[in-house]
Structure 1
Amino acid sequence: MSDETVVIEMREQALWITINRPDKRNAMNAAVIEGIARGYRQAHDDPSIRAIVLTGAGDKAFCAGADLQASGAAFGFDFSRPNGDYADLLRLTQNATKPSIARVNGTCMAGGMGLLCMTDMAIAADHVQFGLPEVKVGVFPMQVMSLLQNIAPRRLINEWALTGEPFDAKAALAAGLLNYVVPAAELDAKVEWLTNRLTDKSPTAIRRGKYAMRAIAAMSFDESIAYTESQIAITAMTEDAKEGMRAFVEKRKPVFPGR
């Protein structure tokens, strides 16, 4: 593994973003946040990239949250700024139009839960422990809740955030935080399987679909149905849609141009 804080590499049609601080349980500092954001931007600038995989180096931790060993720097905010780097990363990922998968290889705690929630799908090894332990050090998972509240049941979030106690992969799966839980030895194979199910589909449909899903999240039914009926008409006019229809009629696998 490289000595870079965040390793960014292409693996076929997926861009892998790996937090590379295994000795620090892949805890986040400014360089980690910047590196993940750089990876997301790189993925969106490169049309050959069809998916993003976010993970941590080693097998002990996905991300243990903020680096609390850095003399309080984790919570050393510049109050003249209305926004923070971690919050900006979550904003960036929510507006992303390429699909993402969290490969949860180890401990996922605190701000690491935010990284988990900011992805579209997640696969975890069955030994992984999850949690929101912020109350144990006198703070609260404020920013994580912005995403978590739309994924997990309220009663569970209350318990996790107010007690700070950890929970296992089985509970995370039941709560909707994960798509799959597998033995550690099968984690990479399952990630590859899910990635392949994304990269052979229409990148245009996925791009426009993620954009629409984000837009309707805050709409009423009447607003969202009016919006989406226009969106399906636009999507049907794309080159990918035309190729998909031709391939269906001709009984062959489509070759999507991504336009």
Structure 2
Amino acid sequence: MSAVTDQPGAERTSRLRLEVADRVATVTISCPERRNALDHATMEALPFLFDELDRRDDVWVVMVTGEGDEAFSAGRDLKSAGPDRPVRRMPTVGPIRYPFEAVRECSKPVIAAINGWALGGGFELALACDLRIAAERARLGMPESKLGLGGQFAAVMLPRLVPAAVANEFLFFGESLTAHEAQAHGLVARVFPDATFRAEAATYAARLASRAPLSVRRFKAIAALSHDLSVEACLRADPYPNPYLSTDAEEGVAAWRAKRPPVWRAE
């Protein structure tokens, strides 16, 4: 496992660790003494890291989690604000792209393994992922209305995932949800016991990495289009990749006929 310290154009940061094994890239937010808060350097490094993961042939699945048992991420590190990085600033302007956009736009499936508190920007990071799984101890919240802060990414994404009344109450009041409450609303796909969460999350990611990678990426691409286009336009869309004409399609059918596991090549 290595720290993300060589992203060109981004500040060096030791709060992100990357490990790639068996086609699964695990990104760990590593600052447990600050509840894995996202400081300025971490926010700047995220787009560069996910651009790299998007291009790497040895990565088929990305999993994001937090170090320790207390927090996935407690959100933006307000203590990192200063005269040159004030709290009062717009997050969507400037030369660096919005970090959570880069996570959402990664062509590979991204799993948020929510091991503890996911608050504010940490919750938004989880929303940027395609799948969210949680430990029973996890809590999800957007306390920005209690702090006078904004949360534009959550305000855009949450109503796409849950009914408007649920999203508005969550955003307006700033109260947190338990893992099971989040699952009941459809925000979380699976909830696992605290004691086995790490092992369950690794198994979950490995299972996803065993699926045909081009098929999974195509599902993700079409699903993203479906938010903005008509049914007819989506049915005629042809985003990359195309599993229909792939070598993997032939391999999948051949493996099914031979009653053996398929050997995917992502081509």
TM-score between the two structures when normalised by the length of structure 2: 0.86
Q: What's the CA shift for 1:36?
A: 2.9
Moved over 6 A (4+): none
Match of 1:125 in 2: 135
Pair 1:144-2:159 in alignment:
no
Residue number among 190, 213, 216 corresponding to 1:206 in the alignment: 216
Choose 152-161 or 109-118, whichever is displaced more: 152-161
Q: Contact 1:93 / 1:119 at 8 angstroms: preserved in 2?
A: yes
Which residue of 173, 184, 193 corresponds with 2:183? 173
Deviates more, 1:64-73 or 1:91-100: 64-73
Equivalent residue for 1:153?
A: 163
Whether 1:75 and 2:83 are equivalent positions in the alignment is no
- Judging changes above 3 Å, is the alpha-carbon distance between structure 1 residues 243 and 231 closer, same or farther for their aligned structure 2 residues? farther
Which whole-Å CA distance do the structure 2 matches of 1:233 and 1:93 have between them?
18
Structure 1 position 237 matched with structure 2 position 248: no
1:87-126 matches, cutoff 5 A: 88-126=98-136
1:217-236 Cα distance to aligned partner (Å, 9 max, x none): 21112222233xx6799531
- Give yes or no for contact 1:152–1:175 (8 Å, CA) kept in 2: yes
Residue 249 of structure 1 corresponds to 257
Offset of residue 75 of structure 1: 3.0
Label 1:119 to 1:232 Cα distance change in 2 as closer, same or farther (>3 A). closer
Separation of aligned partners in 1, 2:14 and 2:147:
29
Output the amino acid matched with 1:172.
Answer: A
Q: Give the direction of change, closer, same or farther, for the CA distance of 1:202–1:214 in structure 2 (3 Å limit).
A: same
Q: Give how far 1:27 is off.
A: 1.1
Bigger share in helix: 1
Identity %: 27
1:13-63 Cα offsets, whole Å, 9 max, x none, are 211111111111111112212333333222222211111110111111111
CA contact (8 A) 1:149 1:157 kept: yes
Change (3 A) 1:9 1:38: farther
Deviation at 1:134, TM superposition (A): 0.5
| Contact 1:94-1:214 within 8 A present in 2 as well | no
Please report the TM-score for the alignment, with normalisation by the length of structure 1.
0.89
For 1:151 and 1:247, the matched residues in 2 are separated by 36
Cα distance per residue 1:115-163 (max 9 Å; x no partner): 1111111111111221111011112322222221211221121111111
State the aligned residue count.
Answer: 255
Once residues 133 and 7 of structure 1 are traced to their aligned partners in structure 2, the CA distance between those partners, rounded to angstroms, is: 27
List runs of 5+ in structure 1 lacking aligned partners.
Answer: none
Letter in 2 for 1:250: A
Quote the offset at 1:76 in angstroms.
Answer: 4.4
Alignment correspondent of 2:202:
192
For each residue in 1:175-227, what CA deviation from the matched residue of structure 2 results, as whole angstroms up to 9, or x when unmatched?
11111112211111221221122111111222233222222321112222233
Query: d(CA) in 1 for partners of 2:174 and 2:185?
Result: 16
- Partner of 1:54 in structure 2? 64
Matched, 1:24 2:34: yes
* Mean CA deviation greater in 63-72 or 173-182: 63-72
Gaps in structure 2 of 5+ consecutive residues: 4-12
Q: Counterparts of 1:232 and 1:29 in 2: how far apart (Å)?
A: 34
Letter in 2 for 1:82: V
C-alpha deviation, 1:78, in angstroms: 6.7
